[in-house]
Amino acid sequence: MNIGSITTELYVDLARAHPNARFIITDSTPPANAVADDHYQPKVSSFVEALRQARAAVLILRADHPDRWQTLCTFLGCSYPSDPFPDCNDKGQRSRSEGDRNRALFTAKDLRSDPSPWIAASKGWHGIALADAPGDSARELSQHHFAGLDSSLWMLREDTFPSNLALFTRNNYAMDADGTARLTIRKEQTPVREFTSAALCSRHRYLYGRFVGEVRPVSTPGVITGMFLHRNSPRQEIDIEFIGKDTCKMLVNVFYNPGIEGSRMEYGYRGTPTLVDLGFDASEDFHEYEIDWSETSIRWRVDGRLVYERANWDPTPIPHLPMQFNFNLWHSRSRALAGRLNVTDLPTSAELRALLVCSRQVEHRKLERGDSNQRRISSKPMETVRG
């Protein structure tokens, strides 16, 4: 956590209140003559001594230790992981932001979430509001608008996932004469699913920024229209979804798993969903929906108005690894979530009039087999074009 407002005295109080708690202190800059944990740094040593006087179990996890997993697992009494130890730098001490923060600007209802170590589920808890890191706003950004299916920037998925009863195929994507993209779900038998639909995904992965879509979702029970950021290994995700049985509400959600690139952490399938009451029926017209993702917070906007936000550990940490931007239409396996699909309501289509990405461009995803356009992408900002 490493929050400046948590003092040594507060940690000692925690140690006394929770006698079975274990405290792990990391330090990435050990002195050259450090030969034992207690001689690590004067400030750390006094902190450790105060905790030990409170009979707390304390481990100093040294950055130069040859096997940090072994040290950590011995201290915690757990099995040695199969993934390598996450080799990354400490963020350093962070400051809390000044002023009050209103978590839900519109009426919002938290739904059932996963029982995960990465979810702080305490009632009435709304996370730790952190001040933005210096220089965050000065980062170089890559910006572009969706302008049709440029295969160097976007790809149509041809796959599915366990909770989706439809298979994504290219044939369910079309562009109307006015430049509106149309994603259609239909009853169509395939070897793996009885329905087909469409999904659009960015080839680039992004770390923080603004992700905006001008969307008209489907109002068919059983069908979900999604606009979201996603990655696997470890799984992290930030969602906007429209549940077809009630398009007067917008579902926002965050999935968080810890680790560095390649860590096989995919804990949970519900995430931390919240329903936000929009005050209008999103399926009746186009509106602009935005995910504003930074190191310290996630903010959701509708037509430029802030409707909901989350701070760090509210109730999850903020996702910290690059993700792809997606827009899709799918048939949920969960009737409790999405309602029961009436096949006579199909085919039906979600419409997309524009997508905006304003973010740090991290990397270009490898082109899928069979893609004909193999040209590389410039990292320069693209010309603004309305799709």
pLDDT 10s digits, 238-247: 999 999 999 9
371 neighbors 277 (Cβ within 8 angstroms): no
Which residues are registered as beta bridge partners of 173? 183
Kind and range of the H or E element at 15? helix 8-17
Mean pLDDT of the chain: 84
Instruction: Report which DSSP code applies to 74.
Output: H
**Selected catalytic residue, list 214, 237, 290, 309:** 237
Active site residue 9: no
Instruction: Report which DSSP code applies to 347.
Output: S
Single pTM value for the model: 0.84
Q: Looking at residue 41, what is its pLDDT?
A: 54
Q: Which of 67-76, 105-114, 355-364 has the lowest mean pLDDT?
A: 355-364
Asked whether the predicted pLDDT for residue 178 surpasses 50, the reply is yes
pLDDT 10s digits, 42-57: 566 788 888 988 889 9
Q: 251: buried, middle or exposed (CB in 10 Å: 19+, 13-18, 0-12)?
A: buried
Q: Give which of 279, 339, 340 is closest to 106, Cα–Cα.
A: 279
> How many other C-beta atoms can be found within 10 angstroms of the C-beta atom of residue 29?
9
pLDDT 10s digits, 103-118: 667 899 999 998 888 9
Q: Give which of 179, 248, 220, 225 is closest to 348, Cα–Cα.
A: 220
Asked whether the predicted pLDDT for residue 383 surpasses 70, the reply is no
Which residues are registered as beta bridge partners of 16? none
Q: Looking at residue 367, what is its pLDDT?
A: 37
In this prediction, what percent of the chain has a pLDDT beyond 70?
Answer: 81
pLDDT 10s digits, 294-335: 999 999 999 999 999 999 999 999 999 999 999 999 999 999
Domains and CATH numbers, the chain: 8-76 (no CATH), 108-364 (2.60.120.200)
Q: Looking at residue 141, what is its pLDDT?
A: 59
The CA distance from 27 to 5, in Å, is 19
Asked whether the predicted pLDDT for residue 256 surpasses 90, the reply is yes
Q: Looking at residue 255, what is its pLDDT?
A: 96
Q: Looking at residue 15, what is its pLDDT?
A: 92
The CA distance from 253 to 228, in Å, is 9
Kind and range of the H or E element at 308? strand 305-311
> How many other C-beta atoms can be found within 10 angstroms of the C-beta atom of residue 352?
26
Structure tokens at 366: 């490898």
**Selected catalytic residue, list 241, 261, 284, 351:** 241
Asked whether the predicted pLDDT for residue 135 surpasses 70, the reply is no
Instruction: Report which DSSP code applies to 315.
Output: S
Confidence of residue 375 (pLDDT cuts 50, 70, 90): very low
Active site residue 288: no
Confidence of residue 74 (pLDDT cuts 50, 70, 90): very high
Q: Looking at residue 132, what is its pLDDT?
A: 78
Alpha helices in the chain (DSSP H): 8-17, 42-53, 68-76, 335-338
Parallel/antiparallel/unpaired status of strands 166-168 and 195-202: parallel
Taken in order 381, 382, 385, 386, is the CA torsion positive or negative?
negative
